[in-house]
Amino acid sequence: MPVLLNNVRFAIFLLTAGMLAGSAMAEATLWGGRPEFGVEYEHEKITDNVSHGYGLTLIPSLSFKSGPIHRIELLVEGERDKEVSSGVTSFSNVYKLAVRVRKNVPLKGDLGMYFRGLVGHANEAGEKYLYGYSEAALRYERGIFGFIMGVRVQRALDGTSGHDVNKFRLGPSVDIGEHHELEFRWARSWEARTYIHESDSYIVEYTYKF
């Protein structure tokens, strides 16, 4: 537990540094990006109904009303996994640092799409690897309420095995005033080559908009 707390403190330090750097870039080079700060909690249930994982992600970001990119984010993630195999229980920690960008595409009325791309580095039980994903989603927004449905394709970028998955994601969101947003997501993951169902995740994310 002390090791986990130290890593959480380190993640908070990285988050603070990222927010300060993001703000400086916004003033200097990003032409009016709005700073935002998100916290995402995820509970992942493995299909064996015994193994599971809990993750916390800190997301400082900049949001833009126009331009080629509408959002850029820094993701600082820590995850605690419990795996049960042949009656033996083991625990592991996963730490990730990534950059993600988003492009919004309006369609008609309240209906639109967005595309996201991510590149990151992971440290998992002594194994380090680069990974990335691309994502496309339909989004519907009316008033303070929204809903998304999308597909994510995630791959290891350096050839490391065991980290290639496809995900289907959906869920609602609600804006609480001008500065607060809550998102709820359900995600189902499949192994990319065998199409075996790996896990289901339940996600809640809070974002504060400065």
CATH of the domain at 59: 2.40.160
Q: Print the domain residue range for 80.
A: 2-209
The predicted structure's pLDDT at residue 89: 84
Rg value, the chain, Cα = 18
Q: Distance of alpha carbon 1 from its chain centroid, rounded?
A: 24
Torsion sign, CA atoms 139, 146, 39, 104 = positive
pLDDT of residue 58: 98
Query: What's the pLDDT tens digit per position in 59-109?
Result: 999 999 888 999 999 999 999 998 887 777 888 899 999 999 999 999 999
> pLDDT at position 23, please?
42
* Sole residue written with tokens 């359900």: 186
pLDDT tens profile 110-151: 999 999 999 999 998 779 999 999 999 999 999 999 999 999
Compute the Cα dihedral for 43, 105, 132, 167 and give only its sign.
positive
| Count of domains forming the chain | 1
Q: What is the mean pLDDT of the chain?
A: 87
Q: Containing H/E element for 116?
A: strand 111-124
- pTM assigned to the model: 0.82
Look up residue 117 and give its two tokens: 């791309």
Closest to 14 (Cα-Cα) out of 99, 134, 124: 99
